[in-house]
Structure 1
């Protein structure tokens, strides 16, 4: 049983690693990286969010996200604005929105390739199983 669980854990990690490598490589064609595009997605889903909130959403430390947000701001993809108290809010710029949309198109193609070996029913089952594992209710 323990060996099977380790094999399962490794298979999940291997699939994620392949997907991340493929996405990172393909996203370079639109001038971004997977980490940057993921940050843009998180900001788009939660405009005005703090670095702490966005770090959690992108599976990063607050310090790592702050560094990334600084790079995105320097590239004029993200705007940081003062919020309530000491809060700094994050918003996409029009350029950031364009990069995000280009990234969506790239990701759709890459993910279609990554999951091509699975039929619709298998993809639905895999999604349900992974959601059950990651459900935070």
Structure 2
């Protein structure tokens, strides 16, 4: 059976949809959505990221990222800190860091049920191929 480009695209989308659906369900037990956990994860990895950079990293618009950050500040997950010039940066609070770590364990569990079934070599090949496709 020949595999079309559409077949590949659909397989990637199905895997992504599975991850998002399961992650949202399981993260809800922590009081988080996948976009909220993604912000916590990216802010941890990029502590000096601007709101625009976080929007880009989390596949959001600047406006939606600003609204999400505001809600996360209200929940005590993020805090605003000064930046160079008029820039406003954000940092994780202790609660934000706690939920980032807990969310990471949840997301690792979701991934272990799919790509975790691949061998180490298969995962390396998958990452290489996806990287090649997105470059």
Query: What TM-score results when the alignment is normalised by the length of structure 2?
Result: 0.91
Separation (CA, whole Å) in 1 of partners of 2:32 and 2:12: 25
Higher mean displacement: 101-110 or 79-88: 79-88
The residue aligned with 2:121 is 121
The residue aligned with 1:97 is 97
Higher mean displacement: 118-127 or 35-44: 118-127
Cα deviation, 1:80-135, whole Å, max 9, x if unaligned, reads 12222221101000110000000111111111012244233222211111122224
The residue aligned with 1:25 is 25
Q: CA deviation at 1:62?
A: 0.6
1:53 aligns with 2:66: no
Q: Secondary structure at the match of 1:30?
A: coil
1:15 aligns with 2:15: yes
Residue correspondence of structure 1 range 32-47 to structure 2 within 5 A: 32-47=32-47
Separation (CA, whole Å) in 2 of partners of 1:46 and 1:121: 28
Separation (CA, whole Å) in 1 of partners of 2:20 and 2:90: 25
Q: After the TM superposition, list the runs of 4 or more consecutive aligned residues in structure 1 that deviate by more than 4 angstroms.
A: none
Cα deviation, 1:2-55, whole Å, max 9, x if unaligned, reads x81112111111110111111111111222111000000111111132111111
Q: How many pairs are equivalent?
A: 133
Separation (CA, whole Å) in 2 of partners of 1:114 and 1:74: 35
The residue aligned with 2:4 is 4
